[in-house]
Structure 1
Amino acid sequence: MVLRDVDITKTLDYSSAIAILGFSLIVSILRTFDMRVEAARVMVSPPVLAFVTSHIMYINLYKLDYDIQKSWNMIVCVAMGVAQLFLWARWAAVSRHPSNWKLWVVVA
């Protein structure tokens, strides 16, 4: 059986990766800064959602060289991942949660 990477699988792969990273970035921001007020959550989530949506539209609808799209998507994904690591490290540093040592293991 031969498996091939076709356009739909590339589209779904890149789109789902950035969507998951965007959602987890929102969660890390809300958790790190302890945003329990609904108004604060509404101020944080839409900009991240707008960025993720526009990035997904850019990589799927705007036709550029495939290598440029792949490298730009990688830059965005790594930047979002590094931002999350810093946010979770900050939360682990200020939190007194009994399991934050596990978070330090993940961050390290």
Structure 2
Amino acid sequence: MCSRDIDLTEKLDYSSAVALLGYSLILSLLRSFNVKDEATRVMFAAPVLAFVTTHILYLNFYELDYGWNMKVCVVMAVVQLLTWAIWAGVTQHPI
């Protein structure tokens, strides 16, 4: 039996990857900067949510570009990893 991506599953795959990375990035920023105030949380999350939403809409309704999606995902992952690494170094948190 052979499994293949169809248009819908490919869009869901790309969209879910970006959504997961965006959510993880928001959490890493909130935790690293120790944001407790609700208004400040929204200020941190809003630009990331706007970018992720715009990117998903671009992929689903304009051009489903694998290369572009990979670049976006890698940049988001690297920013998240750097955020966690800097947080661990500054707080002397044991990894």
TM-score per shorter chain, which class? over 0.9
One-letter amino acid of the structure 2 residue matched with residue 43 of structure 1: M
Structure 1 residues without counterparts, runs of 5 or longer: 102-108
Tell whether 2:20 aligns with 1:20: yes
Question: Alignment identity in percent?
Answer: 57
Tell me what 1:5 maps to: 5
Residue of 79, 83, 87 corresponding to 1:87? 83
**Cα distance per residue 1:46-85 (max 9 Å; x no partner):** 111010000000011003xx5xx11110110000000001
Tell whether 2:68 aligns with 1:72: yes
One-letter amino acid of the structure 2 residue matched with residue 89 of structure 1: A
**2-structure distance, mates of 1:2, 1:93:** 47
Q: What TM-score, normalized to structure 2? A: 0.94
Secondary structure (helix, strand or coil) at the match of 2:3 reads coil
Deviation at 1:5, TM superposition (A): 1.1
**2-structure distance, mates of 1:2, 1:82:** 34
Tell me what 1:31 maps to: 31
**2-structure distance, mates of 1:40, 1:33:** 10
One-letter amino acid of the structure 2 residue matched with residue 86 of structure 1: L
**2-structure distance, mates of 1:94, 1:28:** 14
Deviation at 1:37, TM superposition (A): 1.1
Tell me what 1:46 maps to: 46
Structure 1 stretches of at least 4 aligned residues deviating more than 4 Å after TM superposition: none
Deviation at 1:38, TM superposition (A): 1.1
Structure 2 residues without counterparts, runs of 5 or longer: none
Deviation at 1:28, TM superposition (A): 0.4
Deviation at 1:95, TM superposition (A): 1.8
One-letter amino acid of the structure 2 residue matched with residue 24 of structure 1: S
